[in-house]
Each structure stands twice: as structure tokens, then as C-alpha cells.
């Protein structure tokens, strides 16, 4: 039995679809009551204890409002008590890099370290920006308003979230990826402007961007990561998606083509 946390989110949603397609038994976790799912909250240890009963493997997605490893550690405690065997954690590229007096993804790194120290089997997935982040800006794009280029002119190997999910499923359904830390990049380096012009071509409408600099109203841990990416820290491509899936990762253009309708619908 697999417990999918973040099951209503971007990557967890794709993981759920793949597990259904493959007939793999799983339990989808959400803070809301949903048919066939388990209702649990990382801030409620008793609910986590219920969610992990009879579970062998956990797909761990955390998005705490303030970046700490508390949610990962709460799940880890419940998992250990219930005899869970493996955790596949969604982390982020560059976690642990030192930059500008701070640490990139410090909370993800702390969570990775706690999982590694726990004695459970693990796989860490470290993607860069998801192509799907452009969906955050649907309303601005529809209104013809510019969208913020947080990473300035820096290039990143933006990844298709479906590939991240496919690697997660591979790691959860085989022992071949135990103890691996994968940097799950897409196949090509693109600036935010490159992505906007690809989207513009696919949608057939203007997609304007504006560079207002790295935002300073976000939590410190997040800002360090954005500044690191702005300085080109994430400007590299790996073959980890191909290594796991036996095919190259999808391009941003393909992702955009497959989601054309989503940009036409009201957000
Ligand atoms: N976006 C990127 O470009 C990017 C790049 C690299 C790494 N990442 C990492 O990816 C992760 C985010 O993944 P995602 O984009 O798939 O997530 P997402 O779409 O933001 O979804 C968040 C999920 O977390 C669940 N959730 C939130 N608070 C919860 C709580 N207190 N207890 C239980 N569940 C809770 C939500 O479920 P309910 O609302 O149904 O409860 C939802 O399913 C983050 O760790 C981020 O650092 C993101």
C-alpha cells in the first residue's frame, strides 16, 4: 500500500493518475474529506497515525506555510511507528547549496537528512521549476497583463511535472531507486522569457513578462533559492529522468501544447 501525500496537488495528482492506470493500490491523503481518500493534516499527528496504517511506501510532498521540515518530520515519526518501509520525497534542486550567506532549500535538506537518518529506505526527487508554474499566471495571461520573471535572465532546465510523477512512481514500485537522489531536470535550458515566447506561440496570444527583481516579501529560505536560481545556480541539465524512465524528459513546448485548453478556461 502506497500513501500519496499532496494527492490533490500538481505532482501528487499525476502520481494518483499513474497509480490508477497501473492498478497499484494506494491511499490519497488530503486535508479534505474525499471519496476513497484519507483525511489527514501534517499539523495533526493523530490523523497522520491513521493515514499510515498498513502502508509500505509514502510519497511525501510538503508545502508548509513557513518553510520548515516540521511536516516531513511529523510524517516520518508516524511512518516509523507504523513500520513503513520506504519514503519517496519530493524535494527541490539545489537544496543545501550555500548562496549569499544562506542555504538553498534548507527545509528540504533538513527533511532529507532526517529521512536518511531514520533507517527507512528512501529516494529523493529534486526537480527545478515545473513547466506547470505558468498556470499560476492564467488570470494575468488572460487579462493581457505581464507576469513576473522571478529568475530574471537565468536559464533553468524546467521540468514537466508528469515526468517528476513518473519517476516518483518508478521509485515507489521498485527497489532499484532506493538510496538515489535524482536532479529531475527537463531536457533544455530556458530563460523565463524563452518559456513565455514558447507559450505565446502555442497559445497564439501575447504572454508578456516583467522583471521586478527577486521578491523580498517571501520567507528568507525561499528568497535564497530564487536568488540562487537568478544567479544561474540551476542552469544545468541532467540525464536522471532518462536514466529512470528510459526516455528523455518532455519539453516545455510539449507541456504547453498539452495544456493549451487550461489557459483558455477561467482560473
Ligand atoms: N513548483 C515548483 O516549481 C517546484 C520546483 C521544485 C520543487 N518543488 C517542491 O514541490 C512541492 C510542492 O509540490 P506540488 O506543487 O505538487 O504541491 P501543490 O500543488 O502546491 O499541492 C500541495 C498539496 O499539499 C497538500 N497540503 C498542504 N498543506 C497540507 C497539510 N497541512 N497537511 C496535509 N496536506 C497538505 C494539499 O492538499 P489539500 O489542500 O487537499 O489538503 C495539496 O495536495 C514543494 O515541496 C516544493 O518545494 C516545487
Interatomic CA distance for residues 207 and 223, integer angstroms: 25
Number of domains in the chain: 1
Contact 208, 146 (CB under 8 A): yes
pTM: 0.98
Q: What is the CA radius of gyration of the chain?
A: 18
Residue 57's domain comprises 2-264
Nearest atom (ligand 1) to Cα of 8: 43
Cell numbers representing residue 265 in the block: 478556461
Span from the CA of 204 to the centroid of ligand 1 (angstroms): 30
Nearest protein Cα to ligand 1, atom 43: 6
How far apart are the CA of 8 and the centre of ligand 1, in A? 8
* Beta bridge mates, 3: 27, 58
Q: Encode the chain (267 residues) as per-residue pLDDT tens digits.
A: 999 999 999 999 999 999 999 999 999 999 999 998 999 999 999 999 999 999 999 999 999 888 999 999 999 999 999 999 999 999 999 999 999 999 999 999 999 999 999 999 999 999 999 999 999 999 999 999 999 999 999 999 999 999 999 999 999 999 999 999 999 999 999 999 999 999 999 999 999 999 988 777 888 788 999 999 999 999 999 999 999 999 999 999 999 999 999 998 777
The set of residues, in sequence order, having a beta carbon less than 8 Å from that of 223 and lying 6+ positions away, is 102, 214, 215, 216
DSSP 215-267: -SSS-HHHHHHHHHHHTTTT----SHHHHHHSSPPPPHHHHHHHTHHHHHS--
Helix (H, G, I), strand (E, B) or coil at 170: helix
Pinpoint the alpha helices (H) of the chain: 10-22, 45-51, 70-82, 106-117, 138-142, 161-172, 192-203, 220-230, 240-245, 252-258, 260-264
Query: What CATH number is attached to the domain comprising 47?
Result: 3.40.50.720
Distance 61 CA to ligand 1 centre (A): 6
3-state SS, residue 31: coil
Amino acid at each position: 500500500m502506497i500513501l500519496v501525500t499532496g494527492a490533490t496537488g500538481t505532482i501528487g495528482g499525476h502520481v494518483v493518475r499513474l497509480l490508477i492506470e497501473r492498478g497499484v493500490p494506494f491511499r490519497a491523503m488530503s486535508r479534505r474529506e474525499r471519496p476513497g481518500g484519507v483525511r489527514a493534516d501534517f499539523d495533526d499527528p493523530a490523523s497522520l497515525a491513521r493515514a499510515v496504517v498498513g502502508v509500505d511506501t509514502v510519497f511525501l510532498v510538503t508545502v508548509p506555510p513557513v518553510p520548515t521540515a516540521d511536516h516531513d518530520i511529523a510524517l516520518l515519526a508516524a511512518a516509523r511507528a507504523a513500520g513503513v518501509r520506504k519514503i519517496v520525497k519530493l524535494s527541490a534542486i539545489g537544496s543545501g547549496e550555500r548562496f549569499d550567506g544562506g542555504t538553498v532549500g534548507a527545509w528540504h535538506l533538513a527533511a532529507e537528512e532526517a529521512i536518511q537518518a531514520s533507517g527507512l529506505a528512501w529516494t529523493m526527487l529534486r526537480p527545478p521549476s515545473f513547466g506547470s508554474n505558468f498556470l499560476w499566471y492564467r488570470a494575468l495571461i488572460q487579462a493581457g497583463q505581464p507576469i513576473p520573471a522571478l529568475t530574471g535572465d537565468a536559464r533553468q532546465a524546467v521540468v514537466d511535472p508528469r515526468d517528476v510523477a513518473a519517476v516518483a512512481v518508478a521509485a515507489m514500485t521498485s527497489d532499484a531507486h532506493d538510496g538515489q537522489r535524482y536532479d529531475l531536470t527537463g531536457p533544455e535550458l530556458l530563460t523565463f522569457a524563452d518559456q513565455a515566447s514558447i507559450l505565446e506561440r502555442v497559445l497564439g496570444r501575447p504572454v508578456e513578462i516583467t522583471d521586478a527583481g527577486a521578491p523580498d516579501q517571501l520567507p528568507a529560505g525561499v528568497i535564497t533559492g530564487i536568488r540562487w536560481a537568478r544567479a544561474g545556480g540551476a542552469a544545468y541539465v541532467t540525464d536522471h529522468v532518462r536514466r529512470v524512465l528510459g526516455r528523455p524528459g518532455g519539453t516545455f513546448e510539449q507541456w504547453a501544447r498539452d495544456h493549451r485548453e487550461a489557459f483558455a478556461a477561467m482560473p
